[in-house]
Chains A and B, each alone.
Chain A
Amino acid sequence: MAFEPKIVAFLCNWCAYAGADLAGTSRTQYPPNTRTIRIMCTGRMSPVFILKAFAEGADGVLVAGCHHGDCHYVSGNYGAEKRVNLVSELLPELGIEKDRLMLKWISASEGELFGKTISEFTDTIKKLGPSPLRKK
């Protein structure tokens, strides 16, 4: 069977999650490989969430929130950016390719961008193959 990646997506309630909703309302089609966890703000992201997802066998992790300056909570997305970048530096130490972690800013009105992001990210992960940590 062809490799179907499992991607965990953390989406902030106000921008990326709403953008994903808009992708739905606009019937933007994208691959069915993501499993979404809604958080109020990407600022809620703890580095541990990402590591936990990889440890449990995720092939990719997406963190998506509001564009800079658009955060519903002023600066939550800046916090998220720092933490995601930190984890990204750590990943190679764990034998995980950096490209398996993606941070993306998607506004509530960017449904199409949401779909495109998922399509491209899924493609990237497909090319990388299953995560080295994936449970056999």
Chain B
Amino acid sequence: MAKEKPKSDVSAGKSAVKKAKADGEPKAESKVTDEQPRVGVFVCHCGTNIAGVVDVKDVAKYAGEKIRDVVYSTDSKYMCSEPGQKEIIEAIKEHDLNRIVVAACSPRMHEPTFRRAAQTAGINPYFVDMANIREHCSWVHIQEKEKATEKSKDLVRMSVARARLLEPQEKMKVAVKKSSLVIGAGIAGIQAALDLADMGYQVYLVEKQPTIGGKMAQLDKTFPTMDCAACILTPKMVDTSRHENIELITYAEIKDIKGFVGSFTVTVNKKPRYVLEDLCTGCMDCAEACPVEVPNEFDQGLGSRKAIYVPFPQAVPLIYTLDEDTCIGCGVCKNVCTIEAIDFNQKPEELTLEVGTIIVASGYNVFDPTRKPEYGYGKYENVVTGLEFERLINASGPTGGKLLRPSDGKEPRSIAFIQCVGSRDENTNLYCSRVCCMYAIKNARLYKEKHPECDIYIFYIDIRAFGKGYEEFYKITQEEYGVKFVKGRPSVVYEDEKTGGLILNVEDTMLGRKLEVGVDMLVLSVGMEPGSDTDSLGKMAGVSRGADGFLLEAHPKLRPVDTLVEGIYLAGTVQGPKDIPDTVAQASAAAGRASILMAKGEVEVDPIIAYSVPELCIGCRICERICPFGAITMVDRKAVMNEAKCKGCGLCAGGCPTGAARLRHFKDDQIFAQIHAALAED
């Protein structure tokens, strides 16, 4: 390892500032910046995660002896730990290091940690580079120790080559508007909006449907405490509509999201209700007069509504909506409306919202069981989904809470529930939907309470009763209510044409015998799927979807409500299946996370943005044309990048024919150096 050099009197931090000024001048492309790089290499064991496969000592030794400009190298058990970071800080001071390479985990994990350490030691945080020898090496080459060690050496060499050329960057600060957009007003959006509004922030709550409430409003009772969903939800809905800091925008959709953390510009398309919101009193005269009757979506199509309607009596806002697809234009409603709230000429309205943060809470869809034709949904009348069952036993539902078979309006004397319809199934969705076991148990029990004589079977693969009080709830339903749990997934369902009953063939895998069970009614416990707009909203927000189709959180454990887009958060089932308690918890968490930025009023953003060297720019306008953010304009026939608009993709730098357009921290020479080092020792 190289000998120590006496400390220079100018600290690296100060010279860093100097270089920042020099940057942008054409000569800044010179290979070595004004001071000689003194690179320190720190190889992490990560316990045995890395050291169990990669010979970390050998890597550190190789770096110290063989790689140009490495003046210090070492290995340590946990580089990210307090003592590990201290080691780095001390080494920077002691060996006068001005570039740091940490060979450890993914930079997506700990780059911020090591940047902070560098800063503490007085050098620019952007003088740090990481070689990912864990996720990209030790964990994926477990059986190939020697080759993994060789690869680690290469990765460290590449990292050093890049580090030598890194330039100092100053973090940029942007202001954060103290207002938030919440997309979707199910229980998740409602909770997040209320929390933020209570903290004093302006909230725009945008809901696609004519009313807020989401799926929870459709449920009857809620497991495991059996409170009625409406009783606990409607007060919150009313609070939401009355809160002085919440602007409720219903029957509206997000059209576009522009901007970045701190200042997003959102375009919202408000559909015409053909009813003036300020005037309508919700008196119902129009609906009573309306001659058109169509299936009510809120009742899963089991009940009916008029063409001018509110989805359910406790709707918020209690304003009627004229559904233009089913209206026949007879004008009767307009005639009976004495306050003249009906306006057939209403046009869609476009609103522009300026917000600092966004919470996506657009919820889920239930699985469509026609994709499992073997269960006969859509073919046999008495096969219903779990959500339809919720409406059928709901006192405010189409049957007034009396469960009646769709085929003949009789109360069923036997019911079967089939679990995992569209969940834990290779042909549909692999994941567990987390709520179906519990809602089937809940609904079985609810019916048994009223009809103890009814035979109820639940056909399951495993019962997942994981929440607080859930296992107890399950046990009581089984032991005290006598609901029969049969472990087995029915292969096929037939209808008994004479009775309208259903015949299920199933193997009871506990007892190892084949069963044939006949019931009056069959309920399919359909799972949760991503909501219809998950994809389009994700794209507008720049948030990707996971393999399951739900929106992806920034980190499955440590950042479960953040997304990779700063300032945008997830709440509720848009992120994955969950029950109400988890949804509410996540919604409050998302509100909390969003409030951190807004409370501070400003946020530091990576200064990884593009700039152009005027002397090299030939004014060809390629960059201007390909920039996805309209961040480039031509001034005196030279490209000029707008720092606030640039997001740092580097598309301009990749497309520039002369090398004038550059991306900070990812400049050509830095990448060339990595390519070279990947393939040659030096």
Contacts and interface: CB of A to CB of B under 8 A. Distances in A.
Interface of A: 4, 6, 8, 13-15, 17-18, 20-21, 23-25, 27-32, 35-41, 43-46, 48-49, 52-53, 56-58, 66, 69-70, 72-76, 79-80, 83, 107-110, 115, 135
8 contacts: A17-B108, A27-B142, A30-B141, A43-B654, A52-B676, A70-B539, A75-B626, A75-B628
B564 A52 contact: no
Residue among B136, B141, B142, B148 with most chain A CB within 10 A: B136
B158 A23 contact: no
Given A13-B108, A41-B651, A70-B544, A21 B539 contact: no
B679 A40 contact: no
Interface string B148-159: 101100110010
Contacts of B155: 35-36
B259 to A, nearest CB: 13
Contacts of B148: 32
A115 B136 contact: no
Contacts of B147: 4, 32
Interface in B659-682: 663, 666, 668, 671-672, 674-676, 678-680
Contacts of A44: 649-651, 653-654, 663, 666
9 smallest CB-CB distances across A and B, nearest first, come from: A24-B135, A44-B650, A73-B649, A43-B651, A41-B649, A35-B678, A74-B628, A24-B139, A109-B546
Given A8-B678, A36-B136, A45 B108 contact: no
Given A56-B676, A72-B542, 12 more contacts: A8-B675, A14-B564, A28-B140, A37-B675, A39-B650, A40-B650, A41-B651, A43-B649, A53-B678, A72-B564, A75-B651, A79-B654
Contacts of B655: 46, 79, 83
Nearest to A112: B547
Given A21-B108, A29-B143, A35 B651 contact: no
Given A21-B106, A40-B663, A108 B544 contact: yes
A40 B608 CA distance: 9
A6 B679 contact: yes
Interface residues of chain A: helix, strand, loop or mixed (majority): loop
B405 interface: no
Contacts of A76: 628, 649-651
Contacts of B547: 107, 109-110
A49 B666 CA distance: 12
Scoring B148, B545, B671, B676 by chain A CB atoms within 10 A of each residue's CB, the highest score goes to: B671
Contacts of B680: 56-57, 135
Interface residues of B, number: 54
Interface string B617-630: 00000000010110
Contact of A29 (B136, B141, B539, B546): B141
Interface string B303-327: 0000000000000000000000000
B605 to A, nearest CB: 13
Contacts of A74: 542, 628-629
B477 to A, nearest CB: 36
Contacts of A56: 675-676, 678-680
B57 interface: no
B595 interface: no
A115 B608 CA distance: 29
B539 A109 contact: no
Contacts of B544: 14-15, 66, 70, 72, 107-109
Given A49-B675, A108-B544, A39 B666 contact: yes
A83 B654 contact: yes
Nearest to A50: B675
Interface in B121-165: 132, 134-137, 139-144, 147-148, 150-151, 154-155, 158
Given A35-B154, A79-B651, A24 B144 contact: no
A58 B663 contact: no
A18 B626 contact: no
Given A52-B672, A69-B539, A57 B628 contact: no
Contacts of A135: 680
A110 B565 CA distance: 19
A79 B142 CA distance: 36
